[in-house]
Amino acid sequence: MDLFEKCWTYAKPKQAQALGIYPYFVPFTSQAAPQVTIGGRTVLMFGSINYLGLTEDARLKGAAIDAIQKYGTGCTGSRLLNGTLDLHEELEHRIARFMGKESALVFTTGFQTNLGIISALVGREDVVVLDRACHASIVDGSRLAFGKMVKFAHNDMEDLERILAEHAGRHGILVVVDGVFSMEGDLANLPEIVRLKQQYGARLMVDDAHGIGVMGPSGRGTAEHFGVADAVDLVVGTFSKSFASTGGFVAGNEQVIYYIKHTARAFLFSASTPPASAASALAALDIMETEPERFARLWENTTKWKTHLDRMGFNTGHSATPIVPIVVGNDFRLAVFWRKLFDAGVFANAAVAPAVEPGHALLRTSCMATHEDGHLDQGLEILQQVGRQLSFIE
């Protein structure tokens, strides 16, 4: 059998392309703003995870340019050898302080962060327990670990307790959940998860990529939102969303971070974060700490957006965040929905399995702090028109 046989017969995306309803790999020719340019046309952006709207901020751009002037375009090596800058150490110190943890470690990407942490911590005698709706990087990190991976039904605390009771006292246990689930915008039940992890002697890691800069009174994430920050052992974040840069980080106990720093292969054997990315993340952190009005505006926009979608009759699931899904169900109908919205001037994200459960295809929409009322009004009007055309709403 030819190894490439699967490649020759892989046709589903080409079918969507032939029909003109393929929603992926769309090239942009402008910045990640409330309005973007695609193919020479201006389109409203409701598919960005640039939650605080900082990708256009002159302070971030200036910090990135200054870093390139000082350090060059790259570090040409791993952090272990020749790739550590004082800029990286400053960012780690600031992140640890912001998150209220003893220490932090910066990875080159958010995906690598989860790969590195889980595969480093979960040994042959250990168990990693994760929510079925966790991000793909958590699943892949668990596959790389030598220990056993067990999944519990999404946000099902009875199922989680059943698994913890089965393994407590016999294995080291790491429970891993998203703080904000990235497709449907719902929240992990952290208060109950914390109670269970304490009862059964487990450790808890929260990937709050979509929560930091969004949730909590000061934007420190889902654990702050629920008032359980001190009980979460490890918090993972990314710079590619609210921080408007690229990279990832983990914050937690100093000795645990030290262990990850010296054993996580995804960290040790990857080139370090480029200077411009580290500098722009630091500038974003400055703004997050000093401009709370950005959080307020983000939530004003989110509330207006979701309230109107619900009133129109769209199925927005259990979203409690700026990620507001419109559940469609069928993959083909979703692709048609996406295309009609795009043609009418709205860009959003089409999510199908394995990003969501099979038969649960959805359009992921999201708001930014920099959306103006006019953007929201126009986007909502287009969604209502297209929704009625396709009989999604009355």
Predicted confidence (pLDDT) per residue in 237-266, tens digit: 999 999 999 999 999 999 999 999 999 999
pLDDT of 56 > 90? The answer is: yes
Q: Answer yes or no: are the C-beta atoms of 223 and 229 closer than 8 Å.
A: yes
pLDDT reported for residue 53:
96
Q: What mean pLDDT is predicted for residues 345-370?
A: 95
Separation CA 17–CA 35 (nearest Å): 25
pLDDT reported for residue 265:
97
Collapse the DSSP code of 203 into the 3-class scheme (helix H, G, I; strand E, B; otherwise coil) and give the result.
strand
pLDDT reported for residue 42:
97
pLDDT of 158 > 90? The answer is: yes
pLDDT reported for residue 1:
85
pLDDT of 164 > 90? The answer is: yes
Q: How far apart are the first and last CA of the chain?
A: 52
| Mean of all residue pLDDT scores within the chain | 96
Cis peptide bond prior to 23, omega within 30° of 0: no
Tokens at residue 239, please? 């710079």
pLDDT reported for residue 86:
97
pLDDT of 12 > 90? The answer is: no
Q: Domains of the chain by range and CATH?
A: 11-45+292-389 (3.90.1150.10), 58-290 (3.40.640.10)
Percent of the chain with pLDDT over 90: 98
Q: What mean pLDDT is predicted for residues 108-128?
A: 97
Starting from the edge strand earliest in sequence, which strands make up the sheet with 323-329, in order? Answer: 323-329, 361-366, 349-351
Q: What mean pLDDT is predicted for residues 102-115?
A: 98
Q: Answer yes or no: are the C-beta atoms of 193 and 175 closer than 8 Å.
A: yes
pLDDT reported for residue 197:
97
**Amino acid identity at 144:** L
Give the chain's radius of gyration (CA, Å).
21
Angle of CA points 288, 294, 295, to nearest 5°: 85
Which residues does residue 78 pair with via DSSP β-bridges, in sequence order? 271
pLDDT reported for residue 394:
85
Q: What mean pLDDT is predicted for residues 274-282?
A: 98
Separation CA 48–CA 366 (nearest Å): 6
SS3 content of the chain, % helix, strand, coil (to 5): 45, 20, 40
188-243: pLDDT as tens digits: 999 999 999 999 999 999 999 999 999 999 999 999 999 999 999 999 999 999 99
pLDDT reported for residue 136:
96
